[in-house]
Amino acid sequence: MSSPDFLQLPDLASRALAGSVMYANDELFAERENLVDPEPAAHDTSDFGHKGKVYDGWETRRRREPGHDFAIVRLGVPGVVRGVVIDTAWFTGNYPPFASIDGICVEGYPNAAQLQEAEWEPILDKVELQGDTANSFPVQSEKRWTHVRLNIFPDGGVARLRIHGEPRPDPAFLRGTIDLAALENGGDVVDCSNRFYSSPRNILGLGRARHMGEGWENARRRDDGNDHVVVRLVGAGMIEHVEIDTSYFVGNAPGWARLSGTADEASLSDESAWVTLVPRVELLPDCRHRFRVDADRPLRYVRLDVYPDGGIARLRVHGTLV
């Protein structure tokens, strides 16, 4: 069975994008913070604590009264939700049989108590869950959300909550010189030649990579070609300077790189429409490379070519929206 298309979109709730579980009405067996861990849930059959089996997820006690349990998540980046994954990995006799998800869009930084009193709207109606399964559900809504609430009926354990969608950051913070490629600002990868070891979307992530696994690494090429990634910027912008970071890539950094740009989607396949921003330049391993760019027109897409292959930790494209 093929995976849903929405799984290719960023996880807006992920800790990697600064998502946070603000509140859970109960977390006796396992902490709520595990819900937004970007890594898959782990499991050790021998790991027991004084409260019982230790699970890498969020697990509530067995309810002996009416009601249901819930957790409130602040999205790392607000956005339009296209699909959700309620992952019950490793929860077999203790997963919730049903769940639903609500959403809200609020300004500022309301606390957990204020959010509990707010008026939530349904994003995903009550659905049936399977145990030890990445339960995936598409979402049909064009609304922008800042927080989601996971409701489980009546209780149980959920390993991970993934909220896949399109980032819609507050435009008030997109003024002046910004990173036009950043995932948190609404940039995204639209094409990539090879994703063998890790996702190219990593190069648009928050902060600096902490290790090689947090960058984009392709397979070793055995032909005469080269690898590339194409990024759709937040919007059309005047690019001022860029950063190509090979941090932690020592024996597997690209030998050279080139960055080019184009103005619209229609010209992505037209090589003559691309303008050179950084001509082919030699790269050093484990190094942040910064280059001034004198773009004479607004651009919406950039293409990073690496020669012949190799890993990139981060790509920053600094400029101003037009």
Tell if the pTM clears 0.85, that is, is over it: no
Q: How confident is the model at residue 47 (pLDDT cuts 50, 70, 90)?
A: low
Element (H, E) at 63: none
Rounded to an integer, what distance in angstroms lies between the CA atom of residue 124 and that of residue 86?
11
Report the percentage of the chain scoring pLDDT > 90. Answer: 79
User: Which string of DSSP letters, residue by residue, matches 89-121?
Assistant: TT-SSSS-SEEEEEEE--SS---HHHHHTS--E
Per-residue pLDDT tens digits for 8-36? 899 999 998 889 999 999 998 889 999 99
pLDDT of residue 52: 58
Q: How confident is the model at residue 46 (pLDDT cuts 50, 70, 90)?
A: low
pLDDT of residue 37: 94
pLDDT reading at 192 higher than 80: yes
Mean pLDDT along residues 237-266: 95
Mean pLDDT along residues 66-93: 96
Mean pLDDT along residues 93-110: 95
Return the CA Rg of the chain: 22
pLDDT reading at 254 higher than 70: yes
Per-residue pLDDT tens digits for 193-211? 989 888 999 999 999 988 9
Rounded to an integer, what distance in angstroms lies between the CA atom of residue 174 and that of residue 172?
6
Rounded to an integer, what distance in angstroms lies between the CA atom of residue 19 and that of residue 107?
16
Whether the upstream peptide bond of residue 254 has omega within 30° of 0, thus cis, is no
Rounded to an integer, what distance in angstroms lies between the CA atom of residue 146 and that of residue 138?
18
Per-residue pLDDT tens digits for 275-301? 999 999 999 999 899 999 988 899 999
Rounded to an integer, what distance in angstroms lies between the CA atom of residue 30 and that of residue 231?
38
